[in-house]
């Protein structure tokens, strides 16, 4: 019906793609009739020229139509899911899924791998010996009923068009396109069949959305897409100018998540975990359980252990540790006023935690460990960060990007983790 070059030219020249063009190009790309380089060109045109609401809705529908749709109606409890648009040190899914399950709501958390400077939930969990991301639909349903929480990869049958396009965006500089972010996230979540969805839309230097207005546009777009499909959807706008927690890197973030599940952990990680859990429970109709108490009494940790073991993970095995470490120290005394999230994320990527190509492996142990956050008092010579890697040759490039990441002054900066709440 169409030619890929004509579709590319339409969007390149700032035209609107018709419903038929969108349906065709998504189906043809999924089949392999549209080449990666052609879809990359179209993705870049979309990044530069945008899409209107109709185009985004149709693109999302076409992504859903490329595969199957799941149904959790037979489960004995309501379902709720969460999605983050990606940030540095964002390990919230790890404690959040078992926490919400401990409160009586099933969590079918279909997660992804790292994009650009941000870490992927599946990459983090694969640092646990034996843990596997791939589950059949039957395994997923059984685990949801028995354990109440699943964190796994989307099956090949669920929005397969997105699986191809997701990996392509990571290596072609088109991750930040709002229409592609919104359709990628919502096609999977709608096809997944969850009854309620809470979106954590990041904004700041370490997020894909640097400006609040763009983050708000993305949140509103996704909330509208979900609501129109009958999914109870709400979004929180949260700050990502500073890394979340004290670690960025796969095994490092798992370790920190375990601290949260044990009733400790960094205050910002705990705050956001409890806030998102509260939203998920409310969206699923559960308002009589305090998620903070379920962290304190060990209930969430119990679900975590069952969830990891159900997917082959050895919950008692030690997490891997980097053989090479280097400490960065404060050059003066004062108040830490800036710790740039993007710089920390890129440093972790350069140390081995990220991918240069979609087929690249990642290092389980690479990353950055923080010893202070903005607002903390520091003294000259005090450790600010520890770099972790398997290859000492990687230190120099990580240090380059961190050279301007830190500022020390005299006044603590204002900081608000949760910026706004977006509903239909």
Q: State the Cα–Cα distance between residues 260 and 287, nearest whole angstrom.
A: 22
The pLDDT assigned to 163 comes to: 84
Q: Choose which CATH entry (3.40.50.11540, 3.40.50.720, 3.40.50.300, 3.90.1170.30) describes domain 324-409.
A: 3.90.1170.30
The pLDDT assigned to 171 comes to: 80
Among the options 23, 90, 123, 162, which is catalytic? 162
Among the options 188, 255, 294, 394, which is catalytic? 188
Among the options 83, 117, 189, 394, which is catalytic? 83
The CATH classification number of 81-310 equals 3.40.1030.10
Over the chain (424 residues), the average pLDDT of each successive run of 10 is 93 98 97 96 97 95 94 94 93 98 96 78 96 94 97 86 86 88 92 94 92 95 93 97 97 98 97 98 96 96 98 97 98 96 96 80 95 97 98 97 95 93 95
Among the options 66, 127, 184, 299, which is catalytic? 184
The closest of 253, 233, 242, 154 to 206, measured between CA atoms, is 242
Six-digit token string for 227: 């609501």
Q: Provide the H-helix boundaries in 51-177.
A: 53-65, 93-102, 121-125, 137-146, 160-170
Q: State the Cα–Cα distance between residues 273 and 151, nearest whole angstrom.
A: 16
Q: Which residues contact 372 (CB under 8 A, 6 or more apart)?
A: 330, 336, 339, 378, 382, 384
Six-digit token string for 170: 């990571």
Q: Is 169 considered catalytic here?
A: yes
Q: State the Cα–Cα distance between residues 390 and 377, nearest whole angstrom.
A: 31
The pLDDT assigned to 155 comes to: 77
The pLDDT assigned to 119 comes to: 77
Cα 315 to the center of its chain, rounded Å: 23
Answer whether 120's CB lies under 8 Å from 132's CB: no
The closest of 97, 99, 105, 196 to 150, measured between CA atoms, is 97
The pLDDT assigned to 358 comes to: 63
3-state secondary structure of 342: helix
Answer whether 402's CB lies under 8 Å from 338's CB: no
The pLDDT assigned to 170 comes to: 74
Give the burial string for 176-206 (b: 16+ CB within 10 Å, else e).
bbbbbbbbbbbbbbbbbbbbbbbbbbbbbbb
The pLDDT assigned to 115 comes to: 67
Q: Is 305 considered catalytic here?
A: no
The CATH classification number of 4-50 equals 1.20.970.10
Six-digit token string for 311: 């997917």
User: Running DSSP on this structure, what letter comes out for residue 193?
Assistant: T
**Can you give the residue ranges of every domain in the chain?**
4-50, 81-310, 324-409
Q: Is 184 considered catalytic here?
A: yes
CA dihedral 197, 98, 306, 113 (to 10 degrees): 60
Neighbours of 333 (CB within 10 A): 12
The pLDDT assigned to 156 comes to: 77
Q: Is 77 considered catalytic here?
A: no
pTM metric for this prediction: 0.90
Q: State the Cα–Cα distance between residues 351 and 365, nearest whole angstrom.
A: 9
């Amino acid at each position: 019906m169409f030619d890929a070059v004509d579709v590319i030219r339409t969007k390149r020249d700032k035209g609107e793609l018709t419903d038929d063009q969108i349906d065709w190009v998504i189906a043809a790309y999924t089949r392999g009739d549209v080449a990666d380089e052609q879809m990359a060109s179209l993705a870049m045109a979309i990044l530069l020229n945008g899409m209107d609401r109709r185009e985004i809705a149709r693109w999302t529908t076409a992504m859903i139509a490329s595969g199957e749709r799941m149904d959790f109606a037979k489960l004995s409890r309501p379902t709720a899911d969460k999605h983050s648009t990606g940030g540095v040190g964002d390990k919230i899914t790890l404690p959040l899924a078992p926490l919400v399950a401990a409160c009586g709501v099933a969590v079918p958390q279909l997660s992804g791998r790292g994009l650009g400077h941000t870490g992927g939930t599946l990459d983090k969990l694969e640092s646990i010996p034996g843990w596997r991301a791939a589950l059949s639909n039957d395994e997923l349903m059984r685990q949801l009923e028995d354990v109440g929480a699943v964190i796994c990869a989307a099956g090949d049958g669920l929005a397969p068009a997105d699986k191809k396009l997701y990996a392509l965006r990571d290596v072609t500089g088109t991750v930040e396109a709002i229409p592609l972010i919104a359709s990628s996230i919502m096609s999977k979540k709608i096809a997944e069949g969850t009854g309620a969805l809470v979106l954590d839309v990041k904004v700041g230097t370490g997020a894909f959305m640097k400006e609040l207005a763009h983050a708000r546009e993305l949140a509103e777009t996704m909330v509208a897409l979900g609501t129109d499909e009958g999914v109870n959807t709400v979004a929180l706008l949260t700050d990502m100018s500073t890394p979340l927690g004290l670690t960025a890197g796969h095994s490092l973030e798992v370790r920190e998540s375990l601290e949260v599940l044990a009733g400790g952990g960094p205050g910002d990680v705990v705050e956001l975990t409890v806030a998102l859990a509260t939203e998920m429970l409310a969206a699923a109709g559960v308002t009589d359980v305090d998620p903070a108490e379920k962290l304190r009494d060990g209930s969430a940790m119990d679900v975590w252990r069952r969830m990891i073991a159900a997917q082959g993970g050895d919950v008692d095995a030690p997490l891997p540790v980097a053989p090479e470490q280097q400490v960065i120290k404060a050059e003066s005394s004062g108040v830490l006023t800036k710790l740039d999230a993007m710089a920390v994320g890129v440093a972790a990527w350069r140390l081995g935690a990220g991918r240069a190509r979609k087929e690249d492996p990642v290092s389980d142990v690479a990353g950055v460990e923080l010893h202070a956050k903005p607002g903390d008092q520091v003294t000259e010579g005090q450790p600010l960060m520890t770099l972790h890697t398997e290859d000492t040759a990687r230190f120099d490039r990580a240090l380059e990007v961190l050279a301007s990441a830190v500022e020390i002054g005299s006044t603590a900066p204002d900081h608000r983790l949760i910026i706004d709440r977006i509903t239909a």
